[in-house]
Amino acid sequence: MGKPGKKFPPVLRLILLFLPVALLICGGGYLYYLSQLRFIHEQNRKMEHETVLVGVVSINRSLEYVMQDVRVLYSNTDFKNMLDLPDRSNIDNVATDWIGFAEAKQVYQKIRWIDERGIERLRVNYADKKAFVVPENRLQDRRERYFFEDTNALEEGEMYVSPLDLNIENDRIERPFVPTIRFGMPVFNSKGQKKGILLLNYYAASMLKRFEQLTSMRGNAAWLVNRNGYWLRGPSNADEFGFMFDNHDLSMAARYPQAWERIRNAEEGQFVTRDGLWSFNTLTPLMAGTKTSTGSSEIFSGGQGAQDVSSYKWKVVTLLPLSAYNADLLYWGTKVVAISLALLALFFLGILFMVRLQEMRNQLLLNLEKRVEERTEDLNKVNAVLAQSEARLKSVFDNIPDLIWLKNTAGVYLTCNRAFENFFDLEENRIIGKTDAGLPTDRQADMLRPEGSRIIEEGKPEVMEQWVTNVQTGKRVFFDVIKAPVKTPDGRLIGVLGIARDITRRKEDEEKLQLAALVYKNSSEAILITNAKNEILAVNPAFERITGYTPAEIMGKDPKILSSGRQDKAFYKAMWDALGKKGFWRGELWNRKKNGEVYLAWLTINVVYNEDGSVRYYVELSNDFTEKKEAEDMIWRQANFDFLTGLPNRRMLLDRLQQEIVKVNQSGKKLALLFLDLDNFKDVNDTLGHDMGDLLLVDVAGRLNECVREIDTVSRLGGDEFAVILTELSDLRIAETVTQCMLRSLAQPYRLDGEIAYLSASIGMTVYPDDGTGIETLQKNADQALYAAKQAGRNRMSYFTASMQAAAQNRIRLANDMRIAVEEHQFEMLYQPIVELGTGKIHKAEALIRWHHPLRGIVSPAEFISIAEETGLILTISDWAFREVAREVGRWRERYYPGFQISFNISPALFQSKTDYSDWFDELARLKAPGSSIVMEITEGVLLVSNWQVIAQLTEFHRHGMEIALDDFGTGYSSLSYLKKFEIDYLKIDQAFVKNIENEPKDMALCEAMIVMAHKLDMKVIAEGVQNERQRWLLAGAGCDYGQGYLFSEPLAAAEFENLLEKNRQEVS
C-alpha cells in the first residue's frame, strides 16, 4: 500500500481555507454596521423633523386663539352699545366685561379702546393675576404710535397683528421684559362710523412657554429665530431679543454663521455640521392678520400701513448635538466587532480541526499498513494453536449432552459420545463395530435405518423429529435428529454423522404455547408482554386493533409510547409500587392510540418471575371502554352542566351551594352568592347575530373562571345570567377583590371572529349566613342586589341590604300608580332655555318631564323613567309628552321666533319598542309645525348599539326634517367612530366638564377639544350646566355656540317660560 501524498503543508492549507471565510465575515459585519448607522440617523432625523413641525403648529395655534378673542370682544353687545353711546355707564359695563375676560384668559396685559383721534378712552391692565381699569388721568395719547396708525387704516373686519417685541412704556423697554404682540381691529358704531380701534397687548411669554413645553418633550427645546437671526426663544433667556438692544452677538447668525446662512435661504430642511443635526422650518406669523407694521427690528419707527407680510418670517430650529445624533454607534460598532471576532474564532477552530483530522487520517493509513504485516504473522501462530485445539475437541465431544454417533456406509458404528452410551445404557465396546441390528435395542434400528439408507443413497443431510422409547428403561424421549453424509475432501462418501438432541421438554412447552397462542391470538383483550427492562416483546392482534400499532412498530419499545400524559408521576409511582409489592395491578388508565386519539383502558398487569425471584416478564391485559365511559359521562354532564360554556348549570349550582353551606358551617367562615347579568347583551345578539353571542358567552365564562379561586364555582343559569359561589371566606374583602376583577375583565373588548363588541356586567352579592340561611332566600337576595346594581348605572357590584326588599316593593307600587298617571294628568312638561352665547338670545329649549304624584309629591325622572322602561309604559308617556311639546313649539314659533326649537329626550328603550313614528309626524303636520322645530336628544348608548332598527329610526327623523342632538357627550363610552357613522347636528357637553372650567385647565382643554372636533364635523355645540358669567365667557371664547344652565334660567312651566321668551325678545331687540 502506497503512502498518502500531501499537496500542501498543514499551515498553508489552514490559511487557504480560513482566508475566504474571514473576508466574508468581516465584509458582512461591516455591511451590517452601515445598515444600523443609516437606521439610527434616519430615526433621529424623523424625530427632529416632527419636533420642528410641533413648534410651527404651536405658534400658529396660539395666534389663531388670540384673533378669535379679539372678534369675541368686538362682537360683545355692551361694547357695541358703548360705541354708539360712549357715556360712563356703557364704558363701565364694558370695563366690567373686560376685567372678567382678562382674568379668565390671563394672557392679555392690556385691552384698550383708542378712539378715532388716537386717545385711549378705556384701558384694562392685567398684572399679578389681577385685572383693573386704568384711571382716566393715566390714559395716554397714542396717535403717533405705529400700531394705531396701522390699525386705524384698516377696513372693517380686517385684523392687525404686530411683530413680536418687548413691551415699551414711556419710550423705554419695560423691565422685567414683557414679550408682546399687539392684535387690533378698527371699530365701527351701528351707523357704520369708524370709532377708533380695539387693541389687545398679548403677553407672548405664554405662547413661547407653550412652544418650549411642546418641543422639549423629546429632548432639548426648539429655538424660535426671527428673520435677522435673533433668538425669540433661544438656548437661554440671556440670548433672547438681542435686536431690541442692537446686540448682534446675541444672535444665532453670529454664533452659528454657517448654519444660519443655510437656514435663512431655505424654507425647511435638515443638514449635519460639526455641531450636530440641524432641523428647521419657516412660518410667517404676520400672515395671521391683514395688515402689519415694519417689523420688530425697527421698534421706534412710525406706521407704514400695509406691508409685505410674507417677508417677515420666523424660523423654528432644533440642534441635535453630534454626540446624540451618533448615539449607540459605538455600541453597534463594538457589538459587530465582537460578533465578527467570535465567528472568526469559531471558524478558525473548525478549519483547524479539519486540517488536524486530515493529518490523523494520513497517519492512520500508515499504521494500517503496518498492522496488516503484523496480522500475517499472527495467522501463522493461530495454525499452531488449532492443532492443539483438535486434541481438546475429543474432550468436548464426549462432554456434549446431545447424542452423537458416526457410522460407515454399511451402517457400522465407528464412534459415539458418552451421551449416546448413557442413553442406551451401553458401554462403548458394545457399540463400536456393530450395526443397529446387533445392539440390544434393535427395535430402534428398524425406525432409524431407513433414514440412514436414504442419506447414503441421496448424499443429502436429513433433519427430523421423532419419539424414541428406551426398551430397557421405558423412558419416552422426543429427539430432534440431524443426519448428515460425511465425505472426504475429494467428495467420496465414507459414512453418516448423527446428532440427536432431547427436546422433550421443549415439545411439551410448545404444545402449551400453542394452546396459549390460540388464546393470545383470539382474545378480545389487548395483550402486551415486556421483559424486565420494560421493553415490549410481544403483542396480540387485539392490541393492534385497539391501538393501531403493528408489532413491527412497537417491538423493543417502552409501553410509555402509549402514554396520554393525563396521569402524573404520583399515579405511575403508585402503580409500580403495587407491582413490586403484590406482583399485579388493576385499574383505569388513559392511553393514546397511534393516530393520537386518547382512550380509556381497563388495565391488568401481572408479573412473571424467574426461579430466583427476579422479574422475567410483565404481562398486561387491557380493553377499551372509552365509549361506555363517555356515554356515562355525557349523561351526567348533560344533567349537570351547560352545553355551551361547560359551566355547572342551575341544578349543579344548587347542589354545590348546599355542599358549601355544610362546609362553611363546619369551618365557621362565610360564603358569598353572586348573581351576574351582562349589560346590553341583547344588543350584541341583535347586531352581530346569535352565533357571535354564543362566542361571547363562552369568552365570558373563561374570564369569570380566571378571576375566581380553585375552590369557587362559576355557573351559567341561562341566557346571559351567571352565578358564582365564593366559599370559605375569612374576609369579605376577598369577595370584593374577585368581583372587581370580574367587572374589569368583562369590560374589556370582545374579539369575535373579526368583530369587536363592548359590554359590561352588573353583579348582585349576598352573604351566608349574614343575609339568610336558606338557599331560596339567598337566591332572592342576590337577585334583588343584582337589580340594585343595574339601577345604579350598571357595570358595578351591589351588596344585598334589607332596604332592597322595601325598594322592590316600592318599584311595584310606582309602576301601578304610573298606569293611571297619564289619564289623571299627573305629568307636566318643564322647559329650560338654550341661549346663544354670543348674543344672549334664547334659540331653543329642552323639554323635561315631572310627575306630580298625589301622595308622594314630585317624583324625580331618575326614579320613575327606568320603571317605565321596564314595564313598557315609556311608550304611552313618550306619546303624551311629544304631543305636549309639539303643541307648545308651534305656538312659540308663531309668536316669538320662527326658528325656535325644542329638544325632546327620547328613551333608548323606545328604539326597541316603537318602530313607527308616523303618528308623531302626523301630529306635527296637524299643528302646522315643521319637523325642524323638534330636536331629538339621544344618549351615546343608543349609538353604541347601532343596529339596523336604530339606524332606520334616526334616518326617518332626519327625513322629516328633525335634527339630532347627542346628550351627555364624554360621560359614556365616547367612541368617536359613531360621530362619523351617524348624522349628528348638535353635541351637548356634559356639565361634569363645565362646572370647573374656570379653575381646572384640563376641563377647559377638554371642552376646547370637543368644540373644535364638533365644528370640524359640522356640528353645533351646546354646553350644559353653565352657572356663572366667567364660565360663559370662557366657553364663548372657545367657540361654543350655545349654553344651558341656571345662569340663564331653571326649568320652567310653559306659562313661565313664555314670559321668559317675551322678556328675552325685548332685551335682545
For the chain, how are helix, strand and coil distributed in percent, rounded to 5? 50, 25, 25
Cβ within 8 Å of residue 347, ≥6 positions away: 18, 21, 22, 25
DSSP alpha helix (H) spans, 792-914: 803-821, 861-871, 874-895, 908-913
Cβ–Cβ under 8 Å, residues 218 and 210: no
Cβ–Cβ under 8 Å, residues 222 and 59: no
Helices 88-105, 1029-1037: axis angle to 10 degrees equals: 70
Closest CA to 437 of 449, 427, 451: 449
DSSP string, 82-140: HHH---HHHHHHHHHHHHHHHHHH--EEEEEEE-TTSBEEEEEEEETTEEEEPPGGG--
Closest CA to 1012 of 1043, 982, 1044, 989: 989
Cβ–Cβ under 8 Å, residues 312 and 292: yes
User: Does position 750 have pLDDT exceeding 70, yes or no?
Assistant: yes
User: Does position 64 have pLDDT exceeding 80, yes or no?
Assistant: yes
Residues comprising the chain, all counted? 1069
- Buried/exposed 731-742: b ≥16 CB within 10 Å, e otherwise: eeebbeebbeeb
Cβ–Cβ under 8 Å, residues 845 and 831: yes
Question: Residue type for 571, please?
Answer: F
Cβ within 8 Å of residue 356, ≥6 positions away: 10
- Strands 493-502 and 403-408, bridge-based pairing: antiparallel
Residues 961-990 have a mean pLDDT of 81
Q: How far apart are CA 237 and CA 252, in angstroms?
A: 14
What number of other Cβ atoms are within 10 A of residue 76's Cβ?
A: 20
Helices 1054-1068, 874-895: axis angle to 10 degrees equals: 30
Q: Which three cell numbers stand for residue 9?
A: 503543508
Q: Which three cell numbers stand for residue 934?
A: 323638534
pLDDT digits (tens, 9 = 90+) for 169-186: 777 888 888 899 999 999
Residue whose C-alpha cell reads 498518502 in the numeric block: 4
Cβ–Cβ under 8 Å, residues 207 and 59: yes
Between the alpha carbon of residue 794 and those of residues 680, 760, 761, 762, 954, the distances in Å are 10, 8, 7, 5, 26
User: Does position 297 have pLDDT exceeding 60, yes or no?
Assistant: no
pLDDT band (50, 70, 90) for residue 1: very low
Q: Which three cell numbers stand for residue 627?
A: 365509549
Residue spans in the chain of domains classed CATH 3.30.70.270: 641-800
CATH 2.40.30.70 is right for the domain spanning 812-1065:
no
DSSP string, 712-727: SEEEEEETTEEEEEEE
pLDDT digits (tens, 9 = 90+) for 380-430: 676 666 656 666 767 777 788 888 888 888 888 888 888 888 887 788 888
| DSSP H or E run through 967 | strand 963-969
Closest CA to 532 of 613, 451, 614: 614
- Buried/exposed 994-1017: b ≥16 CB within 10 Å, e otherwise: bbebbeeeebbebbbebbeebeee
Question: Residue type for 436, please?
Answer: D
Q: How many CA atoms lie within 13 A of 780 on its CB side?
A: 11
CATH node for 52-286+312-322: 3.30.450.20
pLDDT band (50, 70, 90) for residue 333: low
User: Does position 1069 have pLDDT exceeding 70, yes or no?
Assistant: no
Q: How far apart are CA 1038 and CA 1025, in angstroms?
A: 16
- Which of these ranges, 201-215, 803-817, 895-909, has the smallest mean pLDDT? 803-817
CATH node for 641-800: 3.30.70.270
pLDDT digits (tens, 9 = 90+) for 721-748: 999 999 999 988 899 889 999 999 999 9
Q: Across the chain, what does the average pLDDT equal?
A: 85
Cβ–Cβ under 8 Å, residues 1007 and 994: yes
Q: How far apart are CA 945 and CA 956, in angstroms?
A: 17
For the 523-631 domain, the top CATH level (class) is alpha beta
Q: How far apart are CA 640 and CA 634, in angstroms?
A: 10
pLDDT digits (tens, 9 = 90+) for 268-290: 999 999 988 899 999 887 765 55
Please give the radius of gyration of the chain, using alpha carbons only, rounded to the nearest integer.
Answer: 53
- Which of these ranges, 27-31, 248-252, 928-932, has the smallest mean pLDDT? 27-31
Closest CA to 761 of 735, 797, 707: 797
Closest CA to 769 of 655, 667, 672, 656: 672
User: Does position 771 have pLDDT exceeding 50, yes or no?
Assistant: yes
User: Does position 81 have pLDDT exceeding 90, yes or no?
Assistant: yes
Question: Residue type for 626, please?
Answer: T
Residues 23-42 have a mean pLDDT of 76
Cβ within 8 Å of residue 701, ≥6 positions away: 645, 646, 647, 714, 716, 722
Residues 556-576 have a mean pLDDT of 91
Between the alpha carbon of residue 407 and those of residues 68, 449, 484, the distances in Å are 136, 11, 11
Q: Is 1042 helix (H, G, I), strand (E, B) or coil?
A: strand
Backbone phi, psi, residue 850, to 5°: -135, 145
Residue whose C-alpha cell reads 331653543 in the numeric block: 844
- Which of these ranges, 515-519, 883-887, 986-990, has the smallest mean pLDDT? 515-519
Cβ–Cβ under 8 Å, residues 653 and 713: yes
User: Does position 449 have pLDDT exceeding 80, yes or no?
Assistant: no
CA geometry: angle 879, 885, 887, nearest 5 deg: 105
Q: How many CA atoms lie within 13 A of 64 on its CB side?
A: 9
The second-level CATH assignment, the architecture, of 400-508 is 2-Layer Sandwich (3.30)
User: Does position 299 have pLDDT exceeding 50, yes or no?
Assistant: no
Q: How far apart are CA 503 and CA 509, in angstroms?
A: 10
pLDDT band (50, 70, 90) for residue 337: confident
| DSSP H or E run through 223 | strand 223-225
User: Does position 944 have pLDDT exceeding 90, yes or no?
Assistant: no
pLDDT band (50, 70, 90) for residue 481: confident
Between the alpha carbon of residue 599 and those of residues 527, 566, 606, 637, 989, the distances in Å are 16, 11, 22, 18, 64
Q: Is 309 helix (H, G, I), strand (E, B) or coil?
A: helix
Cβ–Cβ under 8 Å, residues 994 and 1043: no
Q: Which pLDDT value is given to residue 446? A: 47
Backbone phi, psi, residue 904, to 5°: -115, 120
pLDDT digits (tens, 9 = 90+) for 121-149: 999 999 888 999 999 999 999 988 888 98
Closest CA to 309 of 458, 442, 159: 159
Residues 99-103 have a mean pLDDT of 93
Closest CA to 868 of 935, 943, 941, 817: 817
Q: How far apart are CA 502 and CA 401, in angstroms?
A: 9
User: Does position 447 have pLDDT exceeding 50, yes or no?
Assistant: no
Percent of the chain predicted with pLDDT > 90: 42
Q: How far apart are CA 1032 and CA 997, in angstroms?
A: 10
Q: How far apart are CA 853 and CA 1016, in angstroms?
A: 45
Bridge partners of residue 671, in order along the sequence: 768
Closest CA to 317 of 288, 285, 277: 277
Q: How far apart are CA 306 and CA 2, in angstroms?
A: 107
Q: How many CA atoms lie within 13 A of 84 on its CB side?
A: 8
Residue spans in the chain of domains classed CATH 3.30.450.20: 52-286+312-322, 400-508, 523-631
Q: Which pLDDT value is given to residue 924? A: 94
Q: Which pLDDT value is given to residue 303? A: 45
Cβ–Cβ under 8 Å, residues 767 and 670: yes
- Strands 584-592 and 598-609, bridge-based pairing: antiparallel
Q: Which pLDDT value is given to residue 382? A: 66
